[in-house]
Structure 1
Amino acid sequence: MSTLTEFTKTNLDKQGFGNLDEAAKSCYAGPLRFTPAAGTALIMVGLALQSPAFLGVGAIVPLTGAIFPRGMILDLVYNLGVRHLFHAPALPPTPRPRQFSYLLSTVLIAGSALSFFNGLSVLGFVLGGMVALGGTILTTTHWCLGSWFYRLFFSHAAV
């Protein structure tokens, strides 16, 4: 078990994983990077291709995470396949702050797809780029802008 920094523990707590003890957070810290890393890679492919179809279909991925806490497509790919290659634990259900982040990503990716479809490439790059940047930050630091917004807007809500 690796020791996590306070920064990482705080970031995981703010994503809604505060109910996990330190050992569990340490165990999940690496696997929780899979979904944002894979999602970011897919967004970057869609941006490189400037493909409204690829991005539009790609918007379904975070939408599944926003709607289904145990059924996000990339989490299922990890839980049913990838984790077995590394003898890693299955990912826990997605907490509400992270679900909200997925919803924001869905809107931005769909906006990017519509922008490219309508010939507004710069806007498409800006909207998709925001998701790619946020996903990169989440992957590398566990700091989640969408979870930060969730806590800002819904500070009274139970996690």
Structure 2
Amino acid sequence: MNRYLMQQGYSSCSLEELSALNYHVRLMPAFCLFMVTVGLVFNEPSIHFFLAALGFAGFISKQYHPVDAAYNRITRRPSNKKLPAINPLPRRYASLMGATFNLATGLLLYNGLYSAALFSGGILIALQLTVIFTHFCLASWLYEKFYAFLGHGDNISLAEARELRMKGALLLDVRTPKEHEKQVITGALNIPLPKLRDHDIYHGKEVIIFCNSGMRSKEATKIINNSALAKAYSLGSIQNAIKL
């Protein structure tokens, strides 16, 4: 279970879907990496303008990035798993960042500023290589940090959470096991979000949920409350859980 895949917004996916995404989510950055390299080598701004348009389309689309859609419809073999129809907001911001870099690189090439274009394209290549080999996406990471800073979501207050805990509410950590091991919150039960539906320990209880930034806790709260098997409250980020 790759923590960075969930950072890209795939927190609502099942383990089976995450398994499929683990490899195929690299398609888009790998394709863009190849095209960026070709554009720089041949000093061709139109390639970067095309990639910028593709990136802006990926930012707008809420279901599939165009490269994912092409894979499902054209290149996917029948034996392979189909990519889920989801293009999460953090990943869409990554498409927007890539589109911006490609637009800048294309404009620099168009105006004959090859050294500056090489620098801009080089940054983009480095970011794409990082995503390909680790799934770490700078744009998604920045989105998560900004999300935690703003405290988005209908989170309960610390006072409300403390009162619920005194009444016996379960404290649930939906981060990955590796994240949990790095920073353990005393008394919290760790069930990673993709495995939430496989457990019944929280059934019939009041549950207070937290994660790294508050994005996954919001999703987990929605899953539990929609199931009507328990009453869940989002506490938000781990920083709130530490204060609890």
TM-score between both structures, scaled by the size of structure 2: 0.58
CA distance in 2 between counterparts of 1:132 and 1:63 reads 18
Does residue 149 in structure 1 map to residue 133 in structure 2? Answer: no
Following superposition, the deviation at residue 86 of structure 1 comes to 5.1
CA distance in 1 between counterparts of 2:15 and 2:46 reads 42
Following superposition, the deviation at residue 85 of structure 1 comes to 5.7
Any conservation in 1 of the 2:17–2:83 contact (CA below 8 Å)?
no
Percent identical pairs in the alignment equals: 24
Q: What pairs up with 1:55-134 in 2 under 5 angstroms? A: 55-84=48-77, 87-134=80-127
Change (3 A) 1:50 1:103: same
- Rg bigger for which structure? 2
CA distance in 2 between counterparts of 1:23 and 1:71 reads 18
CA distance in 1 between counterparts of 2:15 and 2:78 reads 24
Q: Any stretches of 5+ residues in structure 2 without a counterpart? A: 154-214, 216-244
> Which structure features the higher share of helix residues?
1
> Which structure features the higher share of strand residues?
2
Partner SS, residue 17 of structure 1: coil
Runs of 4+ with deviation above 4 angstroms = none
Any conservation in 1 of the 2:8–2:91 contact (CA below 8 Å)?
yes
Q: What one-letter code is carried by the residue in structure 2 that aligns with 1:23?
A: E
Any conservation in 1 of the 2:130–2:136 contact (CA below 8 Å)?
yes
Partner SS, residue 89 of structure 1: coil
Q: What one-letter code is carried by the residue in structure 1 that aligns with 2:61?
A: F
**Which stretch of structure 1 is more off in the superposition, 20-29 or 96-105?**
20-29
Aligned length in residues: 152
Does residue 29 in structure 1 map to residue 22 in structure 2? Answer: yes
TM-superposition CA deviations, 1:40-91 (whole Å, max 9, x none): 1111111111211221122111111111122432112111112226522224
TM-score between both structures, scaled by the size of structure 1: 0.86
CA distance in 1 between counterparts of 2:119 and 2:152 reads 31
Residue 45 of structure 2 corresponds to: 52
CA distance in 1 between counterparts of 2:59 and 2:48 reads 17
Any conservation in 2 of the 1:66–1:103 contact (CA below 8 Å)?
yes
TM-superposition CA deviations, 1:113-157 (whole Å, max 9, x none): 111111211111111221221111111111111101212233344
